[in-house]
Chain A
Amino acid sequence: MLLIIAWRNIWRNKLRSFVVIVSVSLGLVGGIFSMAMMYGMINQRVQNIIENEISHIQVHHPKFTENYEMQYVVSNASELQKKLMTSSEVEAVCSRLRIPGMASSAQSGAGIMILGIHPDEERGVTRIHESLVEGSYLEGRRNPIIIGEKLARKLKVRLRSKIVLTFQPREGELARGAFRIVGIYKTNNSVFDQGQVFVKRTDLVRISEYKDDHINELALWLKEMDSAQMLSKQFQKKHLELQFLTWRKIQPDLAMVTDFMAEYFIIFMSIILAALGFAIVNTMLMVVMERIRELGMLLAIGMNRGRVFRMIILESVFLCLVGGIAGVGVSFALIEYFNQAGIDLGLFAEGFESVGYASQVYPELESKFYFIIGFMVVGMGIGAAVYPAWKVLRYQPAKALRME
């Protein structure tokens, strides 16, 4: 009956309860949707980086990533590549020749990272071939190159323009080669677009006079992203002379942001709920003080203080839960809708893309966050009623009955 009384009590003053419920709902919608936007943006960024740049696992000589020096190669790369492909967890492996260099046009020049790839292999690992906005994917017999849209703007070049790549070969003088732009790509990361160019590895080998099996990077695409850590450890144990890095180790900042999403969510929502909680404390104070005679009567006729306390707590929890369910429901619907439709933040595209975020955001939120918010709302309901309940229970029944 305590539940019935508490539930019916919240509808005694419909307008007041409605205001509280709407406040809780709006607070939650604002908080949850903002978090879903943030979560969606971060997830998109992680996905973009993995799909376009780093893949799930990279393999290098242990010293290669220190300064990208050309002498540090993956020995017996072809054999290793074949071996890695035999793992049931691995979807695709591509070999690369990664060389820092300089791209020059007639008008300008820029420092870049040259990625000598095998086009067909690369298709299985990265999505650059899907990011082309002009031209085609490394087609052409002699020295084709794909560059990012931002680099093209910087070098003031267009499709089919020629640019010269200069880089340090393994030994001797600088190597140079003229490449014809056959494709221009655009990702959501303008820093990447400005800094990475893709050429055929065979062309790079020919110009630099490297050996054909000169490979300093293998990139792996896994069937399940979550198995990266475990597989990396397994491979590392078998190949101690090499360094296996998961995307988390290559981009620790992103991994950290992803890992701490739950904590961010809890902190962010706690602040919102704390603000709402104070409003509910005020409401519950009004509720109990205007019913103090009734509460005095309950104490007088034999309802113990614990039961009265629970009744007040339940009222607050019900109030918060109704608002919480409405808020979470509306948030869920909004997130589902915009997860399909996307939110176009094109006005801020340049700013977003300069730090690697897409301007078309697809909000998303893992289901566990809805459960977390459920618990937090109940916690807020309990917390908000403690003080009003304590305040009213200090009164002797006779004093409470005397109060107007």
Chain B
Amino acid sequence: MAVIEVKDIRKVYTETKVPVYAVNGIALSFEKGEFAAIVGPSGSGKTTLLNILGGIDVPSEGEVIIDKKHIASLSSRQLIDFRLKNIGFVFQSYNLIPVLTAIENVEFILQLQGQSKNERRKRAQQLLNEVGLGDRVNDRPAQLSGGQQQRVAVARALASRPQFVLADEPTANLDSKSTENLLNIMEKLNREEGITFIFSTHDSRVVKKARRVITIEDGCVVSDERIAPNNI
């Protein structure tokens, strides 16, 4: 059963003299437990598609249905709440809160959900242990390497036990060792906890791990390959 479904979505930017179609008639669906990569050259519309899938951008046309909910029918407040409870985000440039420590960054999401301090601390510590940063919980982002920051970002994305995680070029700023490490963590979480991961990437290392590869060019899907049977 599809947890995310997009029907003929278009996203047009009209801020320039000539309208730019970042996404131009894409229809896709993702099922629970997928480990999918959206690939394509720069400017092909990967990030825009991911933003629309995550409800942080609104399509100019078309429908986005997440967990049977039409995103367009949600108010701004409901949408924020929906994202908080159902979607985890990992960004290319980590986007951690620089003034908070690693554990506070992870706890922050849980606080937004209204969890108690003890619960928050326990869950954040557990997640940071899982991503291998149990000994760096009190470090601020500036004290961590790029790979470590991205692992904190993954822990943060998973903190609220989301149905799926959207990761926008998560390995773009990482060296090979950090990339390998991060991908292993995400693959493990996908396999063991059934969390759906959707990446936008043009990193071949990520593509190799993906079990579904969607290629887009000029805002359109040009191929949608399932590399291995979805057995989760």
Cβ 8 A contact of A302, one of B57, B84, B104: B84
- Residues in A whose Cβ lies below 8 Å from that of B156: 301
**A273-296 interface code vs B (CB 8 A; 1 in, 0 out):** 000000000000000000001100
- Residues in A whose Cβ lies below 8 Å from that of B204: none
Q: Which residue of A lies closest to B110 (CB)?
A: A1
- Residues in A whose Cβ lies below 8 Å from that of B97: 5, 294, 298
Shortest CB distance B90–A (Å): 10
- Residues in A whose Cβ lies below 8 Å from that of B100: 1, 4-5, 8
Instruction: Flag whether B160 is at the interface (Cβ < 8 A).
Output: yes
Chain A positions 355-404 with a Cβ under 8 Å from a chain B Cβ: 396-399, 401
Cβ 8 A contact of A299, one of B56, B91, B104: B56
Does A401 lie within 8 Å of B77, measured CB to CB? no
- Residues in A whose Cβ lies below 8 Å from that of B57: 396-399
Instruction: Flag whether A343 is at the interface (Cβ < 8 A).
Output: no
A5-B99, A297-B91 in contact; A302/B160 too (CB < 8 A)?
yes
Does B84 lie within 8 Å of A305, measured CB to CB? no
Cβ 8 A contact of A300, one of B48, B56, B108, B160: B56
Does A300 lie within 8 Å of B104, measured CB to CB? no
Instruction: Flag whether B89 is at the interface (Cβ < 8 A).
Output: yes
Chain B positions 57-104 with a Cβ under 8 Å from a chain A Cβ: 57-58, 76-77, 80-81, 83-85, 89, 91, 93, 95, 97-100, 104
Instruction: Flag whether A12 is at the interface (Cβ < 8 A).
Output: yes
Does A1 lie within 8 Å of B111, measured CB to CB? yes
Shortest CB distance A219–B (Å): 67
A1-B111, A294-B97, A302-B160 in contact; A396/B56 too (CB < 8 A)?
yes
Instruction: Flag whether B178 is at the interface (Cβ < 8 A).
Output: no
Does B98 lie within 8 Å of A12, measured CB to CB? yes
Does A303 lie within 8 Å of B112, measured CB to CB? yes
A389 CA / B97 CA spacing, docked (Å) = 18
- Residues in A whose Cβ lies below 8 Å from that of B163: none
- Residues in A whose Cβ lies below 8 Å from that of B112: 301-303, 307
Instruction: Flag whether B36 is at the interface (Cβ < 8 A).
Output: no
Instruction: Flag whether B40 is at the interface (Cβ < 8 A).
Output: no
Interface of A is mostly: helix
Does A294 lie within 8 Å of B95, measured CB to CB? yes
Does A1 lie within 8 Å of B89, measured CB to CB? no
Q: Which residue of B lies closest to A1 (CB)?
A: B111
Shortest CB distance B87–A (Å): 8
Does A297 lie within 8 Å of B95, measured CB to CB? yes
Chain B positions 136-179 with a Cβ under 8 Å from a chain A Cβ: 156-157, 160
Does B99 lie within 8 Å of A9, measured CB to CB? yes
Does A396 lie within 8 Å of B58, measured CB to CB? yes
- Residues in A whose Cβ lies below 8 Å from that of B85: 302
Q: How large is the interface on A (under 10, 10 to 19, 20 to 34, 35 or more residues)?
A: 20 to 34
Shortest CB distance A368–B (Å): 37
- Residues in B whose Cβ lies below 8 Å from that of A1: 100, 104, 107-108, 111
Interface of B is mostly: helix
Shortest CB distance A244–B (Å): 66
Shortest CB distance A141–B (Å): 85
Cβ 8 A contact of B83, one of A9, A300, A307, A401: A300
Instruction: Flag whether A67 is at the interface (Cβ < 8 A).
Output: no
Does B56 lie within 8 Å of A401, measured CB to CB? yes
Instruction: Flag whether B109 is at the interface (Cβ < 8 A).
Output: yes
Chain A positions 312-365 with a Cβ under 8 Å from a chain B Cβ: none
- Residues in A whose Cβ lies below 8 Å from that of B111: 1
Shortest CB distance A311–B (Å): 10
Of residues B56, B58, B89, B112, which shows the largest number of chain A Cβ atoms within 10 Å of its Cβ?
Answer: B56
Instruction: Flag whether B51 is at the interface (Cβ < 8 A).
Output: yes
- Residues in B whose Cβ lies below 8 Å from that of A12: 98-99
Does B56 lie within 8 Å of A302, measured CB to CB? no
Instruction: Flag whether B54 is at the interface (Cβ < 8 A).
Output: yes
Instruction: Flag whether A304 is at the interface (Cβ < 8 A).
Output: yes
Q: Which residue of B lies closest to A10 (CB)?
A: B99
Does A305 lie within 8 Å of B91, measured CB to CB? no
A297 CA / B93 CA spacing, docked (Å) = 11
Q: Which residue of A lies closest to B156 (CB)?
A: A301
A301 CA / B105 CA spacing, docked (Å) = 11
A242 CA / B173 CA spacing, docked (Å) = 93
- Residues in B whose Cβ lies below 8 Å from that of A304: 77, 80-81
Cβ 8 A contact of B109, one of A293, A294, A299, A302: A302
Q: Which residue of A lies closest to B76 (CB)?
A: A305
Does A302 lie within 8 Å of B83, measured CB to CB? yes
A299 CA / B58 CA spacing, docked (Å) = 14
- Residues in B whose Cβ lies below 8 Å from that of A397: 56-57
- Residues in A whose Cβ lies below 8 Å from that of B77: 304
Does A301 lie within 8 Å of B109, measured CB to CB? yes
A298 CA / B84 CA spacing, docked (Å) = 10
- Residues in B whose Cβ lies below 8 Å from that of A8: 99-100
Interface residues of A (CB under 8 A from B): 1, 4-5, 8-9, 12, 293-294, 297-305, 307, 396-399, 401
Q: Can you spell out 24 A-B residue pairs with CB atoms less than 8 angstroms apart?
A: A1-B100, A1-B107, A1-B111, A4-B99, A4-B100, A5-B100, A12-B98, A293-B93, A297-B91, A301-B112, A301-B156, A302-B80, A302-B83, A302-B84, A302-B112, A303-B80, A303-B84, A303-B112, A305-B76, A396-B56, A398-B51, A398-B57, A401-B51, A401-B56
Interface residues of B (CB under 8 A from A): 48, 51, 54, 56-58, 76-77, 80-81, 83-85, 89, 91, 93, 95, 97-100, 104, 107-109, 111-113, 156-157, 160
Enumerate the 7 nearest inter-chain pairs by beta-carbon distance, A residue then B residue, closest first. A302-B84, A398-B57, A8-B99, A297-B95, A397-B56, A398-B51, A300-B56
* Additional 15 contacts, C-beta under 8 A, given A4-B104, A396-B57, A401-B51: A4-B99, A5-B99, A5-B100, A8-B100, A294-B97, A298-B97, A300-B89, A301-B89, A301-B156, A302-B80, A302-B81, A302-B109, A302-B113, A398-B51, A401-B95
